[in-house]
């Protein structure tokens, strides 16, 4: 019967695993004791066999059992049955079921082992993330046979690492870092405390992890993010017009060979160039119906002008995707093989530019329009977007659906490649340019729908959102300001076919 209780608990959690703890609640007149429960965690999305072990001081010839599951003090499930017979119980909210496997009666005095099979869905609603379940068994003669309370709580999410004992030495070895003395170790330890604190939150929708930024202060991390400015450039810029086509339930351009492999900008503030080059790659392939090619962000970093210092002063000091798309209208874009990435601004090397295509212009989406953004990514292709990415969440994101960002200072450029739903959360699928960071280079960010997106004010546009001298605050909407500024190139002319 301990197993019965455990199965019910398991259904109440959210994430990749569910943790189980228990305590015996029998009194002096109870003839049974539960002393062990295995396993102590359950994987969601499958069937697990649980075994509760204990002992009886006397035979129990027959009887009944009952159990009550409570979430936040409210009873959500009450059931029971014959102690001597198998029993199948459906769990609340359609999250699963369990089958109690009776060993038959009488249950003899001595060691006992009770077994059941718990089948759980892959996602459990957060409102029943923590359960307290009371199980009691009574013999047919009124004898108290068993009393147990089992507690459930969300365990590690899918992909989450156990960092409870992770050390600085392990970090240095894993990430190939040079040991830089006590100061750098102290930064690491302070960040690990924040990561562990976040991951201990039983209501979290995303988890933090270690990465190449874990030994950096937040100021050092911020230096790697650069913003962009939502400015227009003459005749090449055009608004996005709604396609009128249906919006499917999910979209992932990776499944349609619409994106290249994840890239790494390194310590250069060239996110804007990566966002632009990646989106150029995607739309060239989609619009011309040709295999996708790996093109050169370094050409954009070194050669794209930024006379008004929008989003930075250019190169590794930041610029904007529209400036990049405006540049490629005349210069075109060459391959990564012809103009390899160097991780520094450098000087423009015209001899390396052998353009495979140029765009005739680009489309700029209306600021803060959810409807335009989801239409574009669903029906046109990946979109170059900008977000607020210099806080704790982006520095240590490991996986899950990022929510409650509460940051609208737009300072980083990325690529939107799709959207979907996990459990009860809708999300945007975003490609970053920090190597294997996050979910193999990607992050999922919560989306709320037209009219429901959170909004905030960027009162520090000079941190990356404005051209030089422009201090006008801006209102941005979406998780981390994801609806702030979005664009994609159009009207391609190809010069040659290059195999990459």
Residues classed as catalytic = 271, 412, 432
> CA 136, CA 3: separation in Å to the nearest integer?
12
> CA 384, CA 357: separation in Å to the nearest integer?
18
> Could you tell me what percentage of the chain is helix, strand and coil, using 3-state DSSP and rounding each to the nearest 5?
25, 35, 45
> CA 195, CA 225: separation in Å to the nearest integer?
21
> CA 206, CA 51: separation in Å to the nearest integer?
31
> CA 14, CA 202: separation in Å to the nearest integer?
8
Residues 6+ apart with CB under 8 A from 475: 368, 455, 456, 457, 458
Taking the CA atoms of 369, 370, 375 and 381 in sequence, report the sign of the dihedral they define. Answer: positive
Q: Which residue in the block uniquely carries the two structure tokens 């990459």?
A: 500
434 DSSP 8-state letter:
B
| Cα 374 to Cα 103, 213, 237, 418, 500, distances in angstroms | 55, 31, 20, 8, 30
Cα angle vertex 392, ends 389, 395, to 5°? 65
* Strand stretches in 32-73, DSSP E: 32-38, 41-43, 47-56, 63-71
**b vs e for 53-84, b when ≥16 Cβ sit within 10 Å of the residue's Cβ?**
bbebeeebeebebebbbbbeeeebbeebbebb
Nearest to 136 by CA among 70, 83, 74, 187: 83
Enter the tokens of residue 122: 């892959």
| Cα 163 to Cα 159, 171, 438, distances in angstroms | 12, 11, 16
No. of helices (H) and no. of strands (E), the chain: 10, 23
Nearest to 386 by CA among 225, 228, 223: 228
Q: How far apart are the first and last CA of the chain?
A: 61
* Strand stretches in 297-396, DSSP E: 357-364, 383-387
> CA 314, CA 308: separation in Å to the nearest integer?
10
CB atoms within 10 A of CB 96: 24
> CA 364, CA 396: separation in Å to the nearest integer?
31
Q: To which H or E segment does residue 370 belong?
A: helix 370-379
């Amino acid at each position: 019967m301990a197993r019965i209780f455990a199965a019910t608990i398991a259904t109440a959690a959210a994430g990749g695993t569910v943790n189980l703890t228990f305590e015996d609640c029998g009194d002096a007149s109870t003839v049974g004791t539960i002393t062990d429960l295995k396993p102590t965690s359950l994987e969601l999305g499958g069937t697990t066999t649980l075994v509760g072990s204990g002992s009886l001081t006397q035979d129990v010839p027959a009887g009944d059992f009952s159990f009550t599951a409570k979430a936040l003090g409210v009873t959500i499930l009450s059931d029971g049955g014959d102690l001597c017979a198998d029993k199948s119980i459906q769990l609340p909210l359609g999250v699963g079921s369990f089958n109690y496997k009776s060993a038959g009666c009488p249950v003899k005095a001595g060691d006992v082992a009770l077994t059941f099979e718990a089948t759980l869905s892959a996602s459990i609603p957060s409102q029943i993330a923590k359960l307290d379940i009371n199980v009691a068994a009574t013999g047919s003669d009124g004898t108290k046979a068993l009393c147990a309370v089992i507690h459930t709580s969300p365990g590690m999410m899918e992909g989450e690492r156990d960092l409870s004992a992770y050390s600085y030495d392990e970090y240095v070895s894993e990430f190939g870092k040079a040991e830089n003395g006590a100061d750098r170790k102290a930064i690491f330890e302070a960040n690990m405390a924040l990561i562990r604190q976040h991951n201990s939150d039983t209501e979290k929708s995303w988890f933090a992890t270690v990465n190449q930024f874990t030994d950096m202060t937040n100021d050092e991390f911020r230096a790697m993010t650069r913003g962009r400015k939502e400015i227009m450039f003459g005749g090449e810029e055009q608004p996005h017009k709604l396609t009128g086509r249906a919006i499917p339930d999910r979209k992932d351009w990776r499944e349609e060979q619409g994106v290249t492999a994840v890239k790494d900008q390194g310590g250069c503030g060239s996110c804007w160039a990566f966002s632009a080059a990646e989106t150029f790659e995607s739309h060239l392939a989609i619009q011309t119906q040709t295999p996708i090619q790996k093109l050169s962000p370094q050409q954009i970093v070194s050669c794209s002008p930024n006379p008004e210092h929008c989003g930075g002063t250019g190169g590794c000091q930041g610029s904007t995707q529209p400036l990049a798309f405006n540049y490629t209208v005349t210069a075109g874009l060459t391959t990564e093989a012809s103009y390899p990435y160097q991780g520094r601004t450098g000087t423009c090397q015209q001899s390396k530019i052998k353009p495979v295509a140029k765009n005739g212009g680009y489309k700029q989406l209306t600021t803060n329009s959810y409807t335009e953004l989801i239409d574009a990514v669903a029906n046109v292709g990946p979109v170059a977007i900008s977000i607020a990415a210099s806080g704790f969440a982006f520095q240590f994101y490991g996986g899950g659906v990022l929510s409650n960002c509460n940051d609208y200072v737009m300072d980083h450029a990325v690529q939107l490649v799709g959207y979907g739903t996990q459990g009860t959360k809708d999300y945007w699928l975003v490609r970053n340019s920090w190597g294997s960071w996050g979910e193999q280079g990607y992050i999922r960010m919560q989306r709320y729908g037209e009219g429901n997106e959170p909004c905030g004010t960027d009162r520090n546009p000079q941190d990356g959102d404005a051209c030089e001298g422009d201090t006008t605050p801006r209102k941005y909407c979406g998780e981390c300001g994801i609806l702030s500024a979005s664009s994609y190139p159009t009207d391609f002319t190809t010069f040659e076919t290059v195999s990459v």
